[in-house]
Amino acid sequence: MTACSEDAKVQAMLQDELSVLPLPTQAQQLHEATGSWENLEYLQDQSRYPGKVFACFLGTLSPGRELVVTLRYVQELSREPDGAARFVLPHTLHPYTQLYAWNCHSNHLPYSLLLTASLQSPRGVANVQANCSLTPLIYTAQDHSTAQVCSPEYKDPRSSWGCTSTLRNKGCDEKLGSVPVLLVQSWVWSLLCLTTHVLQVSLAGSPPGQHDLELLVYFGNPSAVSAVVEKGNPEAPPGSLLGDPMVLVTLAPSIPEPVPGQRQSGEFIFLLDTTFLEHAQDSLLFLLKSLPLGCYFNIYCYEAASVGIYPQSVEYTQDNLTNALWRIPSTGSSLGDTNLLETLRSVYSTPRPRGHARQLFIFMTGLPSDKEAIAAEVCHHRNSHRCFSFCFSEDSAALAVALARETGGEVTYVSSNNSMTAVVLQCLKRALKPAAEVVSLSWTLPRGLEVEVLGGTPQSIFQGQHSLLYAQIHGQAQDTTVAKGVMTLQCSLEGEDVTHTIEFPLCSQGDGRLAGHRLAVRSLLQRLFLEAASGSGDEPRHRAVEISLASGIICPFTSYVGIRTSQRVTWYRGPLALLAPCQSHIPCQLVELPGSCKDSSCYPVTIWVPPGWLTAVRESWRVLRRLTCGIAALPNRGACSKEHKPLPPSISSLKYVDPTAYVLRSPIFGPWSTEAFAECQKLAALQSEDGSWALSSGLASVLEVDEAEIKRKMPGEVMEPSIWATVLAVTWLHRPDKCYQDYCELLEAKAVTWLCSQAVSQLDKCLEAANNLLGSSVKPNIFRL
């Protein structure tokens, strides 16, 4: 961030949190600078939404003066289900008139806004959609690899990228005096870079109203594999993180949709809190019964022993399933005996069946004491699996989010036992998406060059996932005539080997912003922070600080400080637009809005946008007041000497995890009676692992039909009683007065697949007889007829 006026320039810089603090004189200046914000004390209502806000107190803006604020940022774009990249510009960047110019007798906004988006992708830009009016997409390259779109009132932007806002004090009432300037913006605004997709934004013109501005960018081939080289910083030393070229790799292979209920690979491991076992036996039954044929599974009830039902995952068969259900204890020990960390280590030490993507279902009713070590352990193995985390209390939400985020999984907040089974089954349905297995990358480069994939390569890529990798090229090419490199992706899809070969030019691209390098740095800093928080010594912290300061990417061990430099010319005698010339340090801070999880933890809500401009100002002012008051209270001896540096504060990786930034799902399902659930549970317990039901007295009891009547009404063409029993069970699930879809969808899919493989020619007559016996009217399409 930079702010420029006629007489001064303020630039946000990073510093080590343990570095030398400002002198008492400077601290007093900081204290006085924020004193004028006492008129905002009436805004002490608690913010409902948590999130990070960047705040910097710039001083006061005199009438007629102008201030130019420039912000630059880079992040990965989020993905929509249809493959579009989503760019969001919150309305806090163009706040409401009545809130921004609150002390002026004018209805005009103090600045204007114009959006210009420049798009780059080697796969081509197909389309751009927005919630505001835009000019037609203009391609600036014949292959459609670059394009530009803007608002209709387009004019030359002030900046080639980033955000530039001009703030003016347009003749306010002199009785009101100068306008205080406090820059408060959402920290997570938008996402300027996703691998090879670059989005450049410039602002100047009129804002699009009181709503977030959203762009959906569609690329030529959303399911593809690509690689683009970004040149390094020529001023950085060779061999450093910013000095060497960076290859931005997108792995999104095309994976076909599976047929529900068919055989499917995969390793499903369930880690159950002992307290969870006391309340969720029913949910576990439905989970295990809904697994597909062809997969592997295991169950861990993490206690002091931290052992699984089986020494390692076993194939999903009827014998193994029956044995597992018999060996699961009905109750566990107290919560204090849980040992999730050792259980995870036990899981990671077991071999993974080849060709089976590993997925962990972790259930937590409380927060383990060794939460930092747990997060670090999962992060260390993030490429070998993904986690589906289920938390039943708000104190464990941050850990659940961290485990899911590090592995590309999902997190769910379960608010009631009544919806627990439906919630976990919906997650299992998403976990059953097919995956590319045994993923590996190989590189062919000129002699003298080598590639290092930062963070490693994932072993599996699931359908719909866009895996983003950063690979750095080290060394010096001995043969300068070779202008291209080759990346080869090898994986297994449905048991068949698939190879993708991508050529990319070695001549580095980029405009000097180092977007890919900075994204790689951010990913590396997150891993280093987890290592430091887990107690791995001082080395991770020292390395994180070094990388953060060199790259300009903030981490929990560094903080912002505004540095003021005078640019006032000698002949200028007008009033100052910013702080006094003697002040060199400006309060500048990342503010964490605490919010309230209780209002939003049960629903999917985007949290990072503050609910209003004044709310963000009020929260930022409170933090700045605490910051400057603390600095002003420093002893007169000034900064701490090197011999008496303050001890590093205790750190927690979960402190920086927003439990609601990831979607915490606890869906609201329709009314569900205990009696209906018990009926469905009995039917699920009777189903075999292949999806069939046996003709038995137990099934007759669930169907409320005499067993002898069932045998008498069986069509004569049916040679196998289990076929008739399975048709009856599926027909019973579709009774008009009942709805078992949330609980039996996967069970039914397995049953229909089994029927289609056994007796397709007999299903028409079986269905007709089943409708007559049960008094129903189920259509043939239920059985894929």
| Of 568 and 150, more confident | 150
- Pairing mode, strands 385-391 and 410-413: parallel
Q: Give residue-wise pLDDT tens across range 284-299.
A: 899 999 999 999 999 9
Distances (CA, A) of 238 to 161, 172, 473, 499: 27, 54, 11, 33
Q: Is the pLDDT of residue 276 over 80?
A: no
Question: 3-state class of 89 per DSSP?
Answer: strand
- Pairing mode, strands 314-315 and 296-302: antiparallel
pTM score of the predicted model? 0.79
Mean pLDDT calculated for residue range 565-594: 58
| Of 157 and 721, more confident | 721
**Segment among 298-307, 423-432, 553-562, 774-783 with least mean pLDDT:** 298-307
Mean pLDDT calculated for residue range 153-176: 40
Question: Do the beta carbons of residue 401 and residue 379 sit within 8 Å?
Answer: no
| Of 742 and 726, more confident | 726
**Segment among 220-229, 300-309, 524-533, 588-597 with least mean pLDDT:** 588-597
pLDDT score for 593: 53
Question: 3-state class of 776 per DSSP?
Answer: coil
Long-range pairs for 644-647 at CB < 8 Å and ≥24 separation? 645/18, 646/18
Q: Give residue-wise pLDDT tens across range 639-674.
A: 333 343 444 455 666 655 655 544 444 444 444 556
- Residue where the block lists tokens 């899809």: 493
- Residue 532 pLDDT class (50, 70, 90 cuts): confident
pLDDT score for 651: 60
- Pairing mode, strands 116-120 and 197-202: antiparallel
Neighbouring residues of 38: CB distance < 8 A, sequence distance ≥ 6 = none
- Residue type, position 198, single letter: V
Question: 3-state class of 320 per DSSP?
Answer: helix
DSSP state of 509: B
pLDDT score for 208: 54
Mean pLDDT of the chain: 75
CA distance 38 to 356: 61
- How long is the chain? 785
Q: Give residue-wise pLDDT tens across range 12-70.
A: 888 887 764 444 444 454 444 444 333 333 333 334 445 566 777 777 777 777 778 88
The b-or-e profile of 139-161 (16+ CB within 10 A means b, else e) is eeeeebbbbbbbbeebeebbbeb
Count the neighbouring beta carbons within 10 Å of the beta carbon of residue 173.
Answer: 11
CA distance 579 to 570: 18
Look up residue 399 and give its two tokens: 């850990």
Distances (CA, A) of 572 to 78, 116, 167, 422, 428: 48, 35, 21, 71, 69
Q: Is the pLDDT of residue 213 over 80?
A: no
- Residue where the block lists tokens 């001083």: 59
Percent of the chain with pLDDT over 90: 30
Mean pLDDT calculated for residue range 74-83: 80
Residue 440's nearest CA partner among 408, 403, 467 is 467
pLDDT score for 305: 57
Q: What is the DSSP string of 595-612?
A: --GGGTTTS----SS-S-
- Residue type, position 666, single letter: S
CA distance 625 to 623: 5
pLDDT score for 94: 54
| Of 222 and 12, more confident | 12
Q: Is the pLDDT of residue 332 over 80?
A: no
Neighbouring residues of 411: CB distance < 8 A, sequence distance ≥ 6 = 388, 389, 390, 391, 397, 400, 401, 403, 404, 405, 662, 663, 664
Mean pLDDT calculated for residue range 473-483: 89
- Residue type, position 109, single letter: L
Q: Is the pLDDT of residue 528 over 50?
A: yes
| Of 202 and 689, more confident | 689
- Residue 579 pLDDT class (50, 70, 90 cuts): low
pLDDT score for 212: 73
**Segment among 463-467, 694-698, 716-720, 754-758 with least mean pLDDT:** 716-720
Q: Is the pLDDT of residue 725 over 60?
A: yes
- Residue 269 pLDDT class (50, 70, 90 cuts): very high
Distances (CA, A) of 111 to 94, 99, 205, 259: 9, 13, 8, 55
Max distance between CA atoms of the chain, in angstroms, equals 108
- The HSE-up count of residue 77 (CA atoms within 13 Å, CB side) is 26
pLDDT score for 669: 46
pLDDT score for 684: 93
pLDDT score for 773: 93
- Residue where the block lists tokens 């081509």: 124
Q: Is the pLDDT of residue 431 over 50?
A: yes
pLDDT score for 211: 66
**Segment among 30-34, 125-129, 234-238 with least mean pLDDT:** 30-34
pLDDT score for 351: 94
pLDDT score for 500: 92
Q: Give residue-wise pLDDT tens across range 348-368.
A: 999 999 989 999 999 988 888
Count the neighbouring beta carbons within 10 Å of the beta carbon of residue 671.
Answer: 7
| Of 230 and 394, more confident | 230
Q: Is the pLDDT of residue 201 over 70?
A: no
Domains of the chain plus CATH, in order, are 228-257+436-512 (2.60.40.1230), 267-433 (3.40.50.410), 674-783 (no CATH)
Query: Helix 613-632 crosses helix 24-33 at what angle (to 10 degrees)?
Result: 150
- Segment holding 758, helix H or strand E: helix 741-758
pLDDT score for 434: 92
Q: Is 437 exposed, middle or buried (0-12, 13-18, 19+ CB in 10 A)?
A: buried
CA distance 173 to 171: 7
pLDDT score for 166: 54
CA distance 672 to 321: 28
Quickly count helices (H) and strands (E) in the chain: 18, 32
- Residue 526 pLDDT class (50, 70, 90 cuts): confident
pLDDT score for 642: 39
Question: Do the beta carbons of residue 589 and residue 15 sit within 8 Å?
Answer: no
pLDDT score for 665: 46
Question: Do the beta carbons of residue 301 and residue 333 sit within 8 Å?
Answer: no
CA distance 750 to 4: 66
Look up residue 188 and give its two tokens: 């997570």
Question: Do the beta carbons of residue 486 and residue 443 sit within 8 Å?
Answer: yes
